[in-house]
Amino acid sequence: MATLSTAFAAGDPQASQPATEPPAGADAPVRRRSRRLAHQLVEGIGAQIQGQVLKPGDKLPTESEIMQSYGVSRTVVREALSRLQAAGLVETRHGIGTFVLEPRPGPGFGIDPSDIATAVDVMAVLELRISLETESAGLAAQRRSDSQLAEMRSALDAFEANVGGDGDAVTPDFRFHLAIAIATGNRYFADIMSHLGATLIPRTRINSSRFAQEDLPQYLRRVNREHEEIYSAIARGDAESARAAMRIHLTNSRERLRRAQEATQAAARAS
């Protein structure tokens, strides 16, 4: 039976303490901590599989042994193993145990196993952004000043200069979306965007080459075109077109992520 390293726990001072099952009615922080521990466990085991510390055919320790080694609850262990199975890294044979699988052939398109929990979170954030930023774009088209429009243009120019994939395209991407929020004249739009920060941009949290089903420069050019449609509508004061362009932009991001998730799940079922 393979031995798992518990190095992941060093990054979380609470991870070494046994985690109990969340009680009925547990508050959000408890649920978030449970998800975070499961994500850390996925990362830890996934890294050992990718690094050949755990080899194909190796049997993982039992749930109880993993609980004791990592200081986490049975719920956390089962959630982590479920994610690893969905990623096609392990297979559970009922009554026997969980075994490391052979790597899948081919380019391995899909979301990286350590990104699975993050992908779910990014999808939720994109749903929030569709509601928030669609209206933000419409208001910006009606209320923006010349200087605010100039800031949007400056952000897009900086983004376009980095579509080759070598430079920083995340900062100008966020600048553009924040400038639109500021142009609404409603400080709460800008406050929410500033609070969430650059983590709003999916590729800061998920490998974009897997996320987008295309190489990074091609993906960034597509995003740039979508940004330009939003900018043009705001510049001419067309609120409905600005809303529609923003909705299309963010919906496209959500659909790219959804397809990546489905491809990962289909590959896991076929393996």
CATH number reported for the structural domain that contains residue 248 in this entry: 1.20.120.530
Task: Name the domain count of the chain.
Answer: 2
Q: How far apart are CA 106 and CA 172, in angstroms?
A: 35
More confident residue, 221 or 238: 238
What is the tens place of the pLDDT at every residue in 56-97? Answer: 899 999 989 999 988 888 888 887 887 777 667 888 787 788
- CA-CA distances (angstroms) from residue 163 to 149, 197, 211? 21, 21, 16
Residue 16 inside a domain? The answer is: yes
What is the tens place of the pLDDT at every residue in 2-56? Answer: 667 654 433 343 343 444 444 444 455 666 677 778 778 887 887 788 777 888 8
More confident residue, 205 or 34: 34
**CATH code, domain carrying 32:** 1.10.10.10
Asked if 176 and 135 sit in the same domain, the reply is yes
pLDDT at 104: 56
Boundary (domain end) residue, out of 100, 132, 164: 100
Per cent of the chain over pLDDT 90 is: 30
pLDDT at 182: 95
pLDDT at 215: 66
Asked if 182 and 88 sit in the same domain, the reply is no
Q: How far apart are CA 44 and CA 11, in angstroms?
A: 11
Residue 237 inside a domain? The answer is: yes
Asked if 171 and 216 sit in the same domain, the reply is yes
- What DSSP string runs through the chain? ------GGGGG-TTTTSPPPPPPTT--HHHHHHHHHHHHHHHHHHHHHHHTTSS-TTPBPPPHHHHHHHHT--HHHHHHHHHHHHHTTSEEEETTTEEEEPPPPSSS--S--GGGHHHHHHHHHHHHHHHHHHHHHHHHHHHH--HHHHHHHHHHHHHHHTTTTSSS--HHHHHHHHHHHHHHTS-HHHHHHHHHHGGGGSGGGTS-HHHHSSS-HHHHHHHHHHHHHHHHHHHHTT-HHHHHHHHHHHHHHHHHHHHHHHHHHHHHHHH-
- pLDDT score of 120 more than 80: no
- pLDDT score of 183 more than 80: yes
Looking at every residue in the chain, the average pLDDT score rounds to 77
Residue 120 inside a domain? The answer is: yes
Boundary (domain end) residue, out of 100, 133, 163: 100
More confident residue, 119 or 65: 65
When pLDDT is cut at 50, 70 and 90, the band that residue 113 belongs to is very low
Lowest mean pLDDT segment, chosen from 48-57, 124-133, 227-236: 48-57
Whose CA is closest to 57, among 85, 84, 106, 90? 90
pLDDT at 232: 96
Asked if 85 and 160 sit in the same domain, the reply is no
**Structure tokens of 33?**
């901590």
Residue 105 inside a domain? The answer is: no
Q: How far apart are CA 61 and CA 69, in angstroms?
A: 10
Asked if 153 and 224 sit in the same domain, the reply is yes
Boundary (domain end) residue, out of 46, 73, 100: 100
When pLDDT is cut at 50, 70 and 90, the band that residue 107 belongs to is very low
Q: What are phi and psi of 12, to 5 degrees?
A: -135, 105
- Quote the domain boundaries for residue 50: 7-100
